[in-house]
Amino acid sequence: MIRVMIADDHQLFADGLSQALNSLPDTRVVGVVNSGPDLVTSLDSQPAEVAIVDIEMPGGDGIESISVVGRQTKAIVVSMHADDQQRERAAKAGARGFFSKGVPLATLAAAVRAVADGQNLMELSDEERDSLLETYGEAELDPGAASLTPREREILQLLAVGVSATDELADRLYISQKTVKNHLASIFQKLAVSDRTQAAIEAIRLGIARPS
Amino acid sequence: MLATPAPWETRVHRTVVIGQWVALTIGIVSSLVQSRGSPQSLVAMGIAGAYVVGTALAPEEWFWRRFGVESICLTGALIVLVAMTLTGGATSPYLLLSMGPPVFATVYGGFRTGLTTGILSGAMLTLVTLANGAPVIDAAPALALYLIFVLLVGVIRRLLEDIHQQATTLAEEKESATKRLERLEEIHGALLRLSEDMSAGRLNAIEVAADTLETILERFPGSAGKLAVDGEDGRVVLAARGIPDESGHVYEIPLSTSDTTVGNLELTTAQPMSTGDLAQVAAIIHPVSVAFANLQLLQDIVGSAVVEERVRLAREMHDEIGPSLASLGLALDMTAMQQADHPDVAADLHVLRSNVTKLVEDVRASVADLRNARGPTLTARVLQTTSALGGEPPVVVDLEERRPPRPTQIGELTSIITEAARNAHTHSGASMVVISGQIDRSFGSCSVVDDGVGFDPEHEPEGHFGLVGMRERASKIGATIKFDSKPGVGTAVTVEWGSR
């Protein structure tokens, strides 16, 4: 799971981007801030692998904050200022990617995956970048989520439709309650959640289960 | 030099004259009652009457002449004193009338003159009183009256003067304000007409310059010229016609109005120009200079307002419209993902998404345009870069530029045209290179044509031509570039962008 922090002062865009990235199975937005300085502060308390940063924000320039957070978080600039001058500034500050706000979600998601994987899109030509992003087009589930067994997936599906009691789960699956508890413990560990409700939500988000 | 009496002074003069008539009437009646028609009283009556009639008939300007009021008042004081001496001195019925001269003196000569006249009258009256054997104290009331009248009239005069001064100042300010308002209205009207003319395309600086230059060159066959105006970023060439002959006669003629120089005309003629010829050219360019000066004035005034509005618009587009559209695009992406089971719907959503992406890019380009909208024209840029080539073959720039290309395109277009011209100038062996075309902001077409050796476009010559670079630049701004050439025939490089 790639943790993403968004720094953008336009609330509608930031919320839309947050919702869009959260709808993907392999990205999770851990915070939305509206200035460069706030990004630096928030990343201290809530680490993220990737930061999506706007340039011009009333509270402080986004590019300036990139050089500060660059060590722990890789930054992608997404701005209305998609010109050569700003691109150079962003590259100097250590940004790994640079896009106009009109960028499609699929491209941005691929860029997030590529940057999280250590790629630097700023060093590539447009053709090379597009070619690289194609290889990051598909979401990759966490190793944990990918290692779910068929039985654990069945339990998650039942949790997603509201069957959560241990005895009921045991009856439905024709297994003992102790086995159910063992499966649940394994699920919690693999999905990094702490209860059945969170497990159901995560399963739906990952596309492993459907709510109805 | 005579001072012109103010209206209030004329009114005060009349009032004093009327007052003297009243005082004379009172004096005559009192004298008749007291002396019952004695010969002395009749003589005094005649003298006093003569004084009053004299001052009433005396033209007002006499009082304003140098020493006029002093002479009249002193004479008047003596005449009235005679009448008073004949009718009892300090207790004369004409005592009130004797206030006339000091009052006139105060009105026309000021407080000091009035006081002098009053003291003189009082002194003379005291002497008459003493001569008549009466005690000096008899003259005291008269002296007090003189002083009171002089003081009172002096204060009133000062007040009236102040009021008059204020009224005059107010009137002048009103007149000045009215004139400024009228001037502003005239300017407003002129600017409005200029603005309308510009909007309607009737006043296009480049067209005006081109027409002017052609008119001048028609009168002097074989000559060449360049007409330039001083812009914010230096001198901008608006029109250039003909090929300057190196052995020709060069004249620099400023485009001037009465108070400013707005540019210059560089004229190269085959024959020397006479004084008459130069006067003829000056007569042709004078109205053009005035038009350009007005245009610059209009642009200065409108420019500041436009810049402010442009910045506001850019900010609004950048801060609100662009991100909102981008957010809409993301929402469409999400919806398309959720409709993966319905390919038709997903396909429609993708089309919508593409349109939104294009809209965001348009907004972004517009923001860039709005923030960098000012700068030299393409013609000016090309003239500047090609003039650096110098020597043979000559490079003729003949561009019809109605509006400069977008700021995001003008740099690349300049580079492409300059590169093509440089290639033709340096490598083609042509006798002439002509840059021509039509430009109107987001669309246009420019050609660089030479009559040189040409080349085979399929086999780009090594090292020199940089056709790839020009193609890349054209591609970057969404323009197309075409190379028409044949060995031995010449080359035409045409760049086109946008469409009507």
Domain shared by A125 and A182, yes or no: no
The verdict on a CB contact (< 8 Å) between B367 and A80 is yes
Domain shared by A54 and A128, yes or no: yes
| CATH code at position A38 | 3.40.50.2300
pTM: 0.43
In a mutational test of the A interface, the residue from B316, B320, B333, B406 whose CB has the highest number of chain A CBs within 10 Å is B333
Calculate mean pLDDT across residues B137-142.
Answer: 82
Domain shared by A162 and A116, yes or no: no
Calculate mean pLDDT across residues A42-57.
Answer: 88
For residue B320, list chain A residues with Cβ-Cβ distance below 8 A: 10
Is A28 inside any structural domain? yes
Domain shared by A14 and A111, yes or no: yes
Q: Which of A13, A16, A83 sits opposite B368 (nearest CB)?
A: A83
Whether B407 and B397 have beta carbons less than 8 Å apart is answered as no
Is A162 inside any structural domain? yes
Query: What's the number of domains chain A is made of?
Result: 2
Task: Please state the three-class secondary structure of B125-169 as a single string.
Answer: HHHHHHHCCCCHHHHHHHHHHHHHHHHHHHHHHHHHHHHHHHHHH
d(CA B427, CA B14): 99
Is A27 inside any structural domain? yes
The string of pLDDT tens digits covering residues B147-185 is 888 888 888 888 888 888 888 888 888 888 888 777 777
Q: In the A/B pair of chains, how many CB contacts fall below 8 A?
A: 71
The pLDDT, as a whole number, for residue B155 is 87
CA-based nearest residue in chain B for residue A13: B327
In a mutational test of the A interface, the residue from B313, B325, B327 whose CB has the highest number of chain A CBs within 10 Å is B327
Whether B420 and B493 have beta carbons less than 8 Å apart is answered as yes
Domain shared by A149 and A179, yes or no: yes
- Domain end point (choices A119, A135, A151): A135
- Domain extent, residue A193, equals 143-206
Domain shared by A52 and A152, yes or no: no
Task: Identify the bridge partners of residue B268 per DSSP, sorted by sequence position.
Answer: B224, B250
d(CA B419, CA A48): 48
**How many angstroms separate the CA of residue A19 from the nearest CA in chain B?**
9
The string of pLDDT tens digits covering residues A89-112 is 899 999 999 998 889 999 999 999
The string of pLDDT tens digits covering residues B244-290 is 877 888 998 888 887 788 888 888 888 888 888 888 888 888 878 88
For residue A103, list chain B residues with Cβ-Cβ distance below 8 A: 326, 357
Is A187 inside any structural domain? yes
Mean pLDDT of all residues belonging to chain B: 81
The string of pLDDT tens digits covering residues B325-365 is 888 888 888 888 877 778 888 888 888 888 888 888 888 87
In a mutational test of the A interface, the residue from B330, B412, B477 whose CB has the highest number of chain A CBs within 10 Å is B330
Q: Does residue A76 surpass a pLDDT of 90? A: yes
Using 50, 70 and 90 to split pLDDT, how confident is the model at B240? Answer: confident
For residue A19, list chain B residues with Cβ-Cβ distance below 8 A: 330, 334
| CATH code at position A191 | 1.10.10.10
Residues from A in contact with B at Cβ < 8 Å = 8, 10, 12-13, 15-17, 19-20, 23, 56, 80-83, 100-106
The pLDDT, as a whole number, for residue B2 is 47
Q: Does residue B1 surpass a pLDDT of 60? A: no
Q: What whole-number percentage of chain A has pLDDT above 70?
A: 97
Domain shared by A46 and A128, yes or no: yes
Q: Domains in chain B, start-ordered, CATH in brackets?
A: 7-170 (no CATH), 205-371 (3.30.450), 378-497 (3.30.565.10)
Domain shared by A45 and A118, yes or no: yes
The verdict on a CB contact (< 8 Å) between A17 and B322 is no
The string of pLDDT tens digits covering residues B333-342 is 888 887 777 8
Q: In B119-151, which positions are buried (b, 16+ CB within 10 angstroms) versus exposed (e)?
A: ebbbebbbebbeeeeeeeebbeebbebbbebbe
The pLDDT, as a whole number, for residue B55 is 86
> What is the C-alpha radius of gyration for chain A, rounded to an integer number of angstroms?
20
- Domain end point (choices A88, A107, A135): A135
Q: Which of A13, A23, A100 sits opposite B327 (nearest CB)?
A: A13
The pLDDT, as a whole number, for residue B233 is 60
**How many angstroms separate the CA of residue B339 from the nearest CA in chain A?**
13
Domain shared by A89 and A167, yes or no: no
Q: Which of B331, B337, B360 sits opposite A100 (nearest CB)?
A: B360
Is A153 inside any structural domain? yes
Domain shared by A9 and A98, yes or no: yes
Is A62 inside any structural domain? yes
Domain shared by A103 and A198, yes or no: no
Q: Does residue B483 surpass a pLDDT of 80? A: yes
CA-based nearest residue in chain A for residue B351: A104
The pLDDT, as a whole number, for residue A181 is 94
The verdict on a CB contact (< 8 Å) between A10 and B356 is no
- Domain end point (choices A113, A135, A157): A135
Domain shared by A168 and A84, yes or no: no
CA-based nearest residue in chain A for residue B359: A102
Type and span of the H or E element at B256: strand B249-256
Calculate mean pLDDT across residues A56-78.
Answer: 84
Q: Which of A23, A80, A83 sits opposite B323 (nearest CB)?
A: A80
The verdict on a CB contact (< 8 Å) between B331 and A20 is yes
Is A212 inside any structural domain? no
Is A118 inside any structural domain? yes
